[in-house]
Structure 1
Amino acid sequence: MADFYYELLDATDEAGERFRATDFVRGTWSSSTQHAAPVSALLVRALQRCDPRSDTRCSRVVIDLLGPVPAEGDLWVRARKDRSGKQIELVSAEMLAAGPDGTPRPVARASGWRLQTVDTGAVAHAPTAPLRPVSEAPSHDMKKNWDRNYVHSLDWRWLTIPLAEGPGEAWIKPEVDVVRGEAMTPLERLFAVADDANGVGTKLDIRRWTFLNTDLAVHIHRLPHGEWIGVRAETHYGPDGIGTTIGTLFDQDGAVGAIQQSVLLRPR
């Protein structure tokens, strides 16, 4: 059994690093397309590896999904630095997949502000109320409800009852690596889970509605520690088929960042 989302096939391909995905990337809406979480984590990997500096880190990452990302076939990822600077840099990455004519075309993009780090431990402050500990989150076997897909790569534990009123809360631990043979970085781990905020925050029955997000924007004030990522989120639905998920991401020490997602709401 594979224990990773992607395998690196060719690091020197002219279109970008060439990958092949495993079944763990398959989405919950369709088994033929990828869940946005592995896509996001692989794009973040590219952002971090683009002309890396040990004295910077990403403070904000925006992922835009340009269309369905195919779960089968080759994928290419490439990155570039859009703005250089001593204290502030802007980097971007894109994922490509074969189009109808076989030519690689962009299917997802990421941009990240990378800021220089200094010691501000004396004034560190995150006033958001923490999640209850993982030990208080009962284990639900969500894997039994799905054929082999992204859900099977996670240990997902709910603190709240799904679809109940108020913000949804859950702890999620990725159980596979982003790329075969590579240890997951803290930021990759965060983005392997962040896209789940839409599902944590929803109040809609998946049998009656679809609620696909087209993007995610994450601001990270502190890199997460440990294996577990917590999510507190709630989705707001407008009267015209458009919604927004708003949430907070956690590690077991407290809040680490904020997330927002645009949601396309449709009745089945």
Structure 2
Amino acid sequence: MSDSYYELIDSADPVGERFAATDLVRSTWSATIQHGAPVSALLVRGLERCEARPDTRLSRVMIDLLGGVPAEGDLWVRSRIERAGRQIELVGAEMLARGPDGEPRAVAKASGWRLKTIDTPTLLQASAPPLRPLREARSRDMKKDWDRNYVHSLDWRWLTKPLSEGPGESWIKPEVDLVNGETMTPLERLFAVADDANGIGTKLDPRKWTFMNTDLVVHIHRLPVGEWIGIRADTNYGPDGIATTIGSLFDETGAVAGIQQSVLVRPMPGR
């Protein structure tokens, strides 16, 4: 396989565009399932390409992970207009994989509000303080800790120490294609790392706890520019094994989006 998350196998498959995943989608929790970030980015690709209109863009994307997305076997993505409109549209996409009966079934879904754009440069404003510049970030060489998986697809540089008090902060750059031979759009690039907010904002030792998010909601007020995406994230923990990650996403000029994730917290088996 090439240095990409996915290979497009058949764009005319009646179920939907058919893909094969590479090793670079594999999760850090288990090599048999996909990390949520490549899944999210491929669903965003489907949303953006669905009856595409150059006078609109996505303003809110919600990803629901319906279970572990298998890292091997056929994958399909299909999209549709859920609610058409001149200024406001709701677009949906879903990823399918073979179930126990061998038939395709949904394993992840996305919905996106797509709004008509106009020129408002004089209104440009973002309340989230910018991240410290990339030159102050440091690599922690996380690739050495895992066999080839999603982490190996990134240049990941930390501004804060993992598991420290307060929000975690990182700059991240995907170093591979989303789909082999395609150039990522700004939103595909954003979603190729947005799901990492949970790991950046966690306060839990991954040797003792699992903390897997079931969803990802991103509100985008501005399209990101450039290769690097910054994340500032923090996680709030309830008393009942449920947590929420809340944060902001950045490019090198400032904030571009807000992000939230629901998180299922469990003791690591054997602990």
Band of TM-score, shorter chain: over 0.9
Question: What is the alpha-carbon distance in structure 2 between the residues aligned to residue 9 and residue 3 of structure 1?
Answer: 16
- Indicate the residue corresponding to 2:64 in structure 1: 64
| SS of residue in 1 equivalent to 2:166 | coil
Question: What is the alpha-carbon distance in structure 2 between the residues aligned to residue 44 and residue 86 of structure 1?
Answer: 21
Question: What is the alpha-carbon distance in structure 2 between the residues aligned to residue 128 and residue 204 of structure 1?
Answer: 25
| SS of residue in 2 equivalent to 1:181 | coil
Q: Does 1:39 find its partner at 2:44?
A: no
CA deviations on 1:89-126 (whole Å, 9 max, x unpaired) are 00000000000111000000000000000001011111
- Indicate the residue corresponding to 1:196 in structure 2: 196
- Indicate the residue corresponding to 2:73 in structure 1: 73
**Counterparts of 1:40-189 in structure 2 under 5 Å?**
40-189=40-189
Q: How large is the Cα RMSD of the aligned pairs?
A: 0.6
- Residue type of the partner of 1:253? T
Question: What is the alpha-carbon distance in structure 2 between the residues aligned to residue 139 and residue 261 of structure 1?
Answer: 25
1:201 shift after superposition:
0.0
Question: What is the alpha-carbon distance in structure 2 between the residues aligned to residue 94 and residue 34 of structure 1?
Answer: 15
CA deviations on 1:130-164 (whole Å, 9 max, x unpaired) are 00011100122110011100000000000000000
CA deviations on 1:162-217 (whole Å, 9 max, x unpaired) are 00000000000000010011000000000000000000000000000000000000
| SS of residue in 1 equivalent to 2:24 | helix
Question: What is the alpha-carbon distance in structure 1 between the residues aligned to residue 239 and residue 128 of structure 2?
Answer: 30
Question: What is the alpha-carbon distance in structure 2 between the residues aligned to residue 23 and residue 121 of structure 1?
Answer: 42
Question: What is the alpha-carbon distance in structure 2 between the residues aligned to residue 2 and residue 138 of structure 1?
Answer: 28
**Counterparts of 1:226-241 in structure 2 under 5 Å?**
226-241=226-241
Question: What is the alpha-carbon distance in structure 1 between the residues aligned to residue 123 and residue 91 of structure 2?
Answer: 28
Q: Does 1:250 find its partner at 2:250?
A: yes
1:2 shift after superposition:
2.0
- Residue type of the partner of 2:187? L
Question: What is the alpha-carbon distance in structure 1 between the residues aligned to residue 82 and residue 139 of structure 2?
Answer: 43
- Indicate the residue corresponding to 2:17 in structure 1: 17
- Residue type of the partner of 1:246? I
| SS of residue in 2 equivalent to 1:102 | coil
- Indicate the residue corresponding to 2:221 in structure 1: 221
| SS of residue in 1 equivalent to 2:76 | strand
**Counterparts of 1:252-267 in structure 2 under 5 Å?**
252-267=252-267
Question: What is the alpha-carbon distance in structure 2 between the residues aligned to residue 101 and residue 16 of structure 1?
Answer: 19
| SS of residue in 1 equivalent to 2:42 | helix
Question: What is the alpha-carbon distance in structure 2 between the residues aligned to residue 36 and residue 251 of structure 1?
Answer: 21
- Residue type of the partner of 2:37? A
| SS of residue in 1 equivalent to 2:165 | coil
- Residue type of the partner of 1:121? P
Aligned residues: 268
Give me the TM-score of the superposition, normalised by structure 2: 0.98
- Residue type of the partner of 2:259? I
- Residue type of the partner of 1:172? I
Q: Does 1:8 find its partner at 2:27?
A: no
Query: % of aligned pairs identical?
Result: 74
Question: What is the alpha-carbon distance in structure 2 between the residues aligned to residue 138 and residue 266 of structure 1?
Answer: 30
Flag as ranges the 4+ runs of structure 1 deviating above 4 A: none
| SS of residue in 2 equivalent to 1:85 | coil
Any gaps of 5 or more consecutive residues in structure 1? Answer: none
| SS of residue in 1 equivalent to 2:29 | coil
- Residue type of the partner of 1:107? V
1:127 shift after superposition:
2.0
Question: What is the alpha-carbon distance in structure 2 between the residues aligned to residue 123 and residue 226 of structure 1?
Answer: 22
